[in-house]
Copies of this chain bind each other. A is one copy, B any other.
Amino acid sequence: MNIVIIGGVAAGAKAASKIKRLLPDSKVSIYTDDTHVSYSSCGLPYYIEGNFKDYTALLVRSVEEFNKLGIDVYLKSRVDKILIEHKQVLVKDENNAYLVPYDKLIIATGASPLIPNISGINCKNNVFTVRKIEDGINIREKMFNSNHATIIGSGYIGMELLEAFVKNGLKVTVIEKNERIMSMFDDEISDLIKNRIESENNGNFEFLTSEIVSEFIGEDSVHTVKTLSGKEIQTDMVVICTGVKPNVEIARDAGLEIGVTGAIKVNKLMQTSVPDIYACGDCCEERHLVSGRSVWIPLGSTANKEGRCAAINAAGGVEQFEGVLGSAVTRCLNTTMSMTGLTEREASNIGFNPVSVMLEKHDKVGYMPEVGEIVLKVVADKITGMLLGAQAIGSIGADKRINSLTSALVAHMTVDEYSRNDLTYSPPYSPTIDPLINAMLMLQSKIQN
């Protein structure tokens, strides 16, 4: 069995090692246009911040370690075309183009930063995106020679970089085209996130919302960022965090089906529309476990699971990947932001009849030292009582509540069922009545009325 894997960051790397474990005699090769393989892209902001000094900590498995496992890794080797009829891929490296045959092909091409259409964006040596190891190294290096950084986009990575830059003494401007930062949350939660983060602001950062960057001014380097409304921000460096798009070009060219989300369509076996070709990770779409709809939520944890599932099936086994909840967490300074399932806005758009409650509670018993606050919003369907999603922000333990609810969402629990939960209690860990239980009791009376 000869298995070719395109891409080797999370899904591809996971798939390779899983297949080799299942089929030790198989030939497993990873082709990637990247300079590194098997690394934690999610860790880049923490490397930039200086949580650890050596970027190699981000490397999960080196090329040599893959080789030891009997897996061949070809860096800077771009797969340019899939020749489905011939079961071959066309690879181009710095010097050559050559054909590689496969029995099974796994596409794990990932995603690429979405670059907004800004005048003067090209050829600027102080404009960065955050995706690859080099990006992290370059941003960190530039950061040490900068007094001001501009972050375009205020999603997870934008917020993580804000922390990184602030902790390294920079002044920061975050520019967001939406009305609110962290706009994947419901509006009132986004507002609270902003308030919380702003409460730690000593004049060293600013959020410009409802602002669209129109121009980068400067020769080799940007020195001024101009917005449509006419604002001009003097800056030493710019990082674009406006999201990512799935890398589906070679899949589309080969005629593989692309889903409604724009990512590669796969079944629960992670199989594309061509049986011997699998896709996994950020390049393919998933089923949402609450809505049942196709979604594209690229996350490292999902990529790992999909890589494992694709590998088992490619190796001749049977494994199904059921889908995702879009569970996510991050922090910015002392604020944890976490969510799972549907927001109220999403639930409404999809056609649920959402009811929600929002409450602010201590994260432990009030008399304990270092007591923090958690704001929890829980969304349920008024007709069925089914839990639909939750958002939590606040102290470090906010994500604990979300991870309790992910289980509930996977099990399709109702508010009544969850209200019977027996959560752990002790003064340093939670209030006597956990905020989750408070939320359920409040939801019950909203559903009954």
Q: Which A residues lie at the B interface, using CB under 8 A? A: 10, 40, 42-43, 46-47, 51-52, 57-58, 156, 289, 299-302, 304-305, 322-331, 336, 338, 340, 365-369, 397, 399-411, 413, 417-418, 420-429, 432-434, 437
Contacts and interface: CB of A to CB of B under 8 A. Distances in A.
A301 B406 contact: no
Given A300-B432, A407-B418, 6 more contacts: A40-B432, A46-B427, A305-B437, A399-B429, A400-B400, A404-B404
A304 B425 CA distance: 11
A406 B426 contact: no
Contacts of A367: 40, 43, 46-47, 51-52, 57-58
A247 to B, nearest CB: 20
A266 to B, nearest CB: 16
Contact of A422 (B368, B397, B406): B406
A423 B301 contact: yes
Contact of A304 (B43, B407, B426, B432): B432
B428 A403 contact: no
Contacts of A302: 422
Given A417-B410, A433-B304, A425 B42 contact: yes
Contact of A432 (B289, B301, B365, B437): B301
How many protomers of this protein does the assembly include?
2
B408 A421 contact: no
13 contacts: A42-B365, A43-B427, A322-B420, A323-B422, A328-B424, A328-B426, A329-B429, A331-B429, A403-B424, A404-B404, A406-B421, A410-B422, A411-B411
A115 B365 CA distance: 29
Contacts of A46: 367-368, 427-428
Among A302, A324, A399, residue most surrounded by chain B Cβ atoms (within 10 Å) = A399
Contacts of A340: 422, 424
A326 B42 contact: no
B403 A411 contact: no
Contacts of A410: 413, 417-418, 420-422
Given A46-B367, A403-B400, A424 B304 contact: no
B42 A329 contact: no
A422 B301 contact: yes
Given A300-B425, A422-B326, A407 B400 contact: no
A425 B369 contact: no
Contacts of A432: 10, 40, 42, 300-301, 304
A368 B47 CA distance: 9
Contact of A413 (B368, B407, B421): B407
Among A330, A402, A403, residue most surrounded by chain B Cβ atoms (within 10 Å) = A403
Among A10, A302, A421, residue most surrounded by chain B Cβ atoms (within 10 Å) = A421
A399 B404 CA distance: 11
A297 to B, nearest CB: 9
A368 to B, nearest CB: 6
B325 A426 contact: no
A326 to B, nearest CB: 7
A328 B10 CA distance: 36
A112 to B, nearest CB: 21
